Structure 1
Amino acid sequence: MPATPLTLQPRPIDASVDHEIQAIVTGSSLSQTCTTDLAAGPWDFDSRPGYGPGSSMGDVIPTGSPRQGELPREYREASEEELHARIIAAKHALGDRVVVLGHFYQREEVVAHADYVGDSFQLAGAAKAHPEAEAIVFCGVHFMAETADLLSGPDQAVILPNLAAGCSMADMADIDQVEECWEQLEELYGPMDRADAEGLVPVVPVTYMNSSAAIKGFVGRHGGIVCTSSNARTVLEWAFARGRRVLFFPDQHLGRNTAKAMGVPLDRMPLWNPRRPMGGNDDAALEDARVILWHGFCSVHRRFSVDQIDRARLEHPGVRVIVHPECPMDVVDAADEAGSTDYIRKAIQAATEPTTFAIGTEINLVQRLAAEHPQHTIFCLDPVVCPCSTMYRIHPGYLAWVLEGLVAGEVRNRITVPADVADPARVALERMLSARPSPQVAP
């Protein structure tokens, strides 16, 4: 599904999470936020290691993660209105030489300037569809910019406005840990490329799109495939047709929820903890495994709970609860529906009668949907305003800075994937693009 083109029209003020957080901090809103530090400019935190305000205390950023240099004062001190005008002027000067991509979870003040808005894969496709652009400015997080670089032309520069915009979930499966896991599994199962009498190899690796290029490259080298939240079932069917088991990373919840819906028993989905020998499992559990789940998760979607769903049903009889499949299994089971960000958007768009929706996904998207569909009542399951901490590090100040750099002939914050990683990563992505749903696959 292609990303959605947007015109440069400002959104209604109530779609802005930043405005709401500022109101909370000044006392003009009675809502709650997970931290008042979100009201500050993200540049206040660029020099510190970490994912930024709003991140989970348990999310420890890897040593050596990219840091953003100091943003010039003129951008830090500019008003929202001034930055808006400067971004429009820079885009006008650049014309077709630049394409600005905005992820669904970006703050409204950034999405207002995006030529396309979508999820990470949709936006990578939008980048690929514009070979005439000299630069692709990806307002998202690091792994997304890497994927855009994989799919764009060699002469195109992919730019991430703030290098500190990483992803804690993607970082939960680093390449050294995955390589070590693979070696331990090979000691148990034997050569991973040796098929049995039925033509099945011991393990097929599957990585979620929300992973580094290095992980995608690993998957490509070892006969595996990439998935998104919208095609995870199709990808698992592809993998089950080729292997006895699947090693699924980095998000355990998407893997568990998808495999469970396909009929895989929970006791055949052991969890692999990379900090423990054999992932904390015994040989028997791994021999019987159908899906080996990596110990990773999305901190945003882990905030949602069954208690929140119960409260929504109590306070809004007849509410329709839709959550993202990155949510824990009990939350997905308690909801009416679970689906990708695109699924959620389409479900709301397709509702012909005024409906109350309780949504379990990132707050920027939820508030945007509420503003776009005033005929419905749409609210976030989590009453605490807490956006994705790393997405929130993309601020209009950074967008203005990289765009004005392009106007001046300077490419700032370019993201480049080395060829030895990019080539196998593209293989894994192409396998995903070629995968087609099967009528039925036994668990």
Structure 2
Amino acid sequence: MTLAVEAKAPALEDYFGLSDAELHARIEAARRELGTRLVILGHHYQRDDVICHADYTGDSFKLSQLTVERPAAEFIVFCGVHFMAESADILKPGSQKVILPDLGAGCSMADMASVEQVEDAWEQLTEIGLVGDFRVMPITYMNSTAAIKAFCGEHGGVVCTSSNAVPLFDKSLKEADKLFFFPDQHLGRNTGVKFGIPLEQMVVWDPFKELGGNTEEQLRNARLILWKGHCSVHGRFRAWHVDQVRKEVPGIKVLVHPECVREVVEQSDLNGSTEFIIKTIAAAPAGSAWAVGTEVNLVNRLIKQFPDKHIRLLAPDLCMCATMYRIAPQNLAWALESLLAGAVVNQIIVPEETARWARVALDRMLAIK
């Protein structure tokens, strides 16, 4: 990643004393002045006082597709997390500059797998003959670095999201003997179960142990090799949350994200991507009751959007994406007014060789219907 910061940028600290109303007004004024030169993308987990300024909203898969649909825009301001901005820079159709309002907006799951660890794992699998004797396809979840996406592109693999996991597994399981899935073990496991793969044919790869903590026989018998990683938000939901909410509200439907642990997904009524969750709630009849197991900002937005339905967060405690929350109105106002001053701040630039191979893996993903 290369960071380009111009000297003419205003000081970020100057924005912290502004009122909510003034920040909102200045962001909207900057949007109007920048006009078609600017497009703002907002992830569904983003806080309300930021996502209200987005031109497009969506999950990581939808926003990846939207990146290529505004070629006239000079600036893509991504209100999400770092790996999403990297993907936007890789997929951008021209010379647009991709900006992340706060470089501290990362992803704990993405941090659980480095490209060095993945390369080491692949080398170990090659040394024991697994890569060679079998067709092993590396698949990385969208929540990963550009370098890991590039690894997948270079090794015949693909990028996966929760929106396209099922069709992607359907295609990949026909082409490969084994899938090496990282960094989220839960999405990999939950999707594998949908295809009838028994849990005994899934192993977890711990990057801090030799052969990931497995024997050669276990790896040879496995259909899925799952990286030991997880989402810090969805990992907080537990099976007892499902039991509790059903006792409190008889007849309530439980709808969860497939990043949740297997026990939660098994006990839920429905599971699917963020887009699936939104569409399911939108299509539900008035008066229906739903407990939703995903990020709290999205759940609260659904509660406001559909007052004719009884919607609640599955867990009683707060389940917020803390790194996504780092992007505040102050950061967005600073980034936009810096552009007006002729300064590009927090630009995300993926090195060309990394981008080239990552684009291969992302294009394979986008080609799957």
TM-score (norm 1): 0.80
Task: Specify the alignment match of 1:176 in structure 2.
Answer: 116
Structure-2 separation of matches of 1:76 and 1:387: 22
Asked if the contact 2:105–2:324 (Cα under 8 Å) also holds between the matched residues in 1, the reply is: yes
Structure-2 separation of matches of 1:172 and 1:133: 33
Structure-1 separation of matches of 2:11 and 2:106: 17
Deviations 1:134-166 (A, max 9, x none): 000000000000001111134100000000000
CA distance 1:379–1:70, change in 2 (3 Å)? farther
Deviation at residue 352 of structure 1 after TM alignment = 2.5
Higher RCO (CA < 8 A, seq sep 6+): 2
1:147 paired to 2:87: yes
Task: Specify the alignment match of 1:338 in structure 2.
Answer: 271
Deviation at residue 241 of structure 1 after TM alignment = 1.9
1:268 paired to 2:208: no
Asked if the contact 2:65–2:366 (Cα under 8 Å) also holds between the matched residues in 1, the reply is: no
Deviations 1:47-89 (A, max 9, x none): xxxxxxxxxxxxxxxxx9x9x9996332111111110011011
Task: Specify the alignment match of 1:375 in structure 2.
Answer: 308
Task: Specify the alignment match of 2:158 in structure 1.
Answer: 225
Asked if the contact 1:71–1:398 (Cα under 8 Å) also holds between the matched residues in 2, the reply is: no
Task: Specify the alignment match of 2:44 in structure 1.
Answer: 104
Aligned to 1:385, the other structure's residue is in SS state coil
Deviation at residue 123 of structure 1 after TM alignment = 1.3
Q: Pick from 222, 232, 239 the counterpart of residue 289 of structure 1.
A: 222
1:114 paired to 2:58: no
Asked if the contact 1:356–1:376 (Cα under 8 Å) also holds between the matched residues in 2, the reply is: yes
Structure-2 separation of matches of 1:79 and 1:315: 40
Deviation at residue 435 of structure 1 after TM alignment = 2.8
Structure 2: which amino acid aligns with 1:123?
L
Equivalent runs, 1:147-226 vs 2, <5 Å:
147-189=87-129, 192=131, 194=132, 201-226=134-159
1:308 paired to 2:241: yes
Q: Pick from 8, 24, 28 the counterpart of residue 84 of structure 1.
A: 24
Deviations 1:354-382 (A, max 9, x none): 21110000000000000000000111011
Structure-1 separation of matches of 2:367 and 2:13: 48
1:130 paired to 2:63: no
Which stretch of structure 1 is more off in the superposition, 178-187 or 148-157? 148-157
More helix by share: 2
Structure 1: which amino acid aligns with 2:107?
C
Task: Specify the alignment match of 1:360 in structure 2.
Answer: 293
Structure 2: which amino acid aligns with 1:150?
I
Equivalent runs, 1:4-19 vs 2, <5 Å:
none
Deviations 1:253-285 (A, max 9, x none): 000000011100101101000000000000110
Q: Pick from 344, 349, 369 the counterpart of residue 416 of structure 1.
A: 349
Structure 1: which amino acid aligns with 2:278?
R
Deviations 1:14-60 (A, max 9, x none): xxxxxxxxxxxxxxxxxxxxxxxxxxxxxxxxxxxxxxxxxxxxxxx
Aligned to 1:270, the other structure's residue is in SS state strand
Task: Specify the alignment match of 1:38 in structure 2.
Answer: none
1:400 paired to 2:340: no
Task: Specify the alignment match of 1:277 in structure 2.
Answer: 210
Structure 2: which amino acid aligns with 1:396?
P
Give RMSD over aligned pairs.
1.7
Task: Specify the alignment match of 1:9 in structure 2.
Answer: none
Structure-2 separation of matches of 1:311 and 1:376: 20
Structure-1 separation of matches of 2:173 and 2:127: 21
Asked if the contact 1:189–1:202 (Cα under 8 Å) also holds between the matched residues in 2, the reply is: no
How many residues matched? 364
Task: Specify the alignment match of 1:347 in structure 2.
Answer: 280
Task: Specify the alignment match of 1:53 in structure 2.
Answer: none
Structure-2 separation of matches of 1:268 and 1:122: 32
Structure-2 separation of matches of 1:331 and 1:152: 37
Structure 2: which amino acid aligns with 1:233?
V
Structure 2: which amino acid aligns with 1:177?
Q
Structure-1 separation of matches of 2:52 and 2:362: 29
Structure-2 separation of matches of 1:400 and 1:179: 40
Deviation at residue 353 of structure 1 after TM alignment = 2.9
Deviation at residue 386 of structure 1 after TM alignment = 3.7
Identity %: 53
Deviations 1:81-122 (A, max 9, x none): 110011011101101110011100000000110111101121
Structure 1: which amino acid aligns with 2:303?
A
